[in-house]
Structure 1
Amino acid sequence: MAVEYSCCSTNFFIHILIIVFLVLFAGLMSGLTLGLMSMSLVDLEVLAKSGTPKDRKHAAKILPVVKKQHLLLCTLLICNAAAMEALPIFLDSLVTAWGAILISVTLILLFGEIIPQSVCSRYGLAIGATVAPFVRVLVWFCFPVAYPISKLLDYLLGHGHVALFRRAELKTLVDFHGNEAGKGGELTHDETTIIAGALELSEKTARDAMTPLSEIFSIDINAKLDKNLMDLILEKGHSSDSLL
């Protein structure tokens, strides 16, 4: 049953502030779940070492928080669920039961899911770095509940998945970064060719890179280097074979 409050009463405004806080808090947890958990440790380490100065600073702040991925995931989901479950309780004191359900679903869907996840999917690195100290506090606050669940997930699923590329995937990635691919890459055609060739070296044999002796034009060591021999050498030309 809804409790009637005067629009000017203190309790009414307190409930409104709590509802706004819960919606924003749930939205932040939802956005961070997508923004932080979508970043692999490899991506963050690459950014921390070779990104722009701003990206290096952001990645350095996020790395300690993201290292224990399952603990972070459990913390964010627990906080998000707590905020969403508490919202109808405070709405129920202002409106009817069905109204509380309708308003809470609308608020959570729009301001707690769609908008935060859209923003964090694009600016997850900057937002994650900004709220990293706050997330650490939440991790410690939820530690008694989140830690056992995270250890269970570590046991069942492993401590984490490191997204390293295989040779074929690296070649495709290099091709995408070439300026000929039209995706904004800066690598030239020669650079992508050299990198792709270097990645294939372990799969090549000497036969793949060298010319067979039967196809080689050779000169006897005792041959006289006269005009006729020079003309013959010029006529045969030289090899244009490349190791790569």
Structure 2
Amino acid sequence: MLIVLFSLQIIPQSICCRYGLTIGAAVVPIVRVLVWICFPVAYPISKLLDFLLGHRVALFRRAELKTLVDLHGDEAGKGGELTHDETTIIAGALELSEKTAKDAMTLISETFAIDINSKLDKGLMSLILEKGHSRVPVYYEQPTNIIGLILVKNLLTIHPEDEVPVKNITIRRIPRVLETLPLYDILNEFQKGHSHLAVVVEQCNKTEQQPSVDLADNPTTEVRVDIEGDKPPQEKSLKTKRSLRKGKSSPAGSQSYKRDKKWTKDLNSDILEINDSPLPTLPEEEKAVGIITMEDVIEELLKEEIFDETDHHFEDS
């Protein structure tokens, strides 16, 4: 009995535990021969068992996968090679499908936004610089009515002494997503390049079905909100130089000319000419509750906070 135990169980397990792949690859021809020999008996028995007990695919659930990944981590002490960061990211990727925009958003009360009727004077420019954001939401009348966003890099040509109104600079459309939208869907929309920032809204009227995301219907493009028709001289000179530079670098030809005309036409169709018309507002059945960015989604994936140069945080001593 001891001979059978050592020769057929203990010794093979000890050897195959370390050299399992090598031994398995070496005996593949023998196993294939045994499969064909046992096929006439094993196949009918397997079909009978599937009929009686049901067919079960040997797949792991999400919770089982997370436990399996933790067991393969070096912190588990079982010989695994996965580092703490690797196990954390894998677990975050598995949990991301269960999280929605509400779990990762920044509350609207904690969001830094500027009024469209304000002026880019020294105080406001200093405040934008202090916040350190690359994109700043723009609201109209009340902070919950966010109608667009500005890119801070577009303010490089603006002088604080000119006190240029916010409504006279380039404003981009900002997409809206429901608070129940999964983070993977938001990440896929962010990857399309329309915008890396969106407004999270909740439906006040549950009887009407609203689209979960309007990124496809309202693509984020350059939008010009020009109420008074004024244009700062900085943007005039910048666009003039840009057009001259394009004229020098682009090859002459009818095809290039048609493409430029089409691009100009599409751009003009996205410009908001608001002279007598009111500025856009959120529908009555929707209420803005927060802002979500690409960084928020990545933080949920990493399961860690991402701090940049302008973030102020204090570690517990």
Instruction: Give the TM-score of the pair, scaled to structure 1.
Output: 0.43
**Higher RCO structure (Cα 8 Å, ≥6 apart):** 1
Instruction: Give the TM-score of the pair, scaled to structure 2.
Output: 0.35
The structure whose residues are more often helix, as a share, is 1
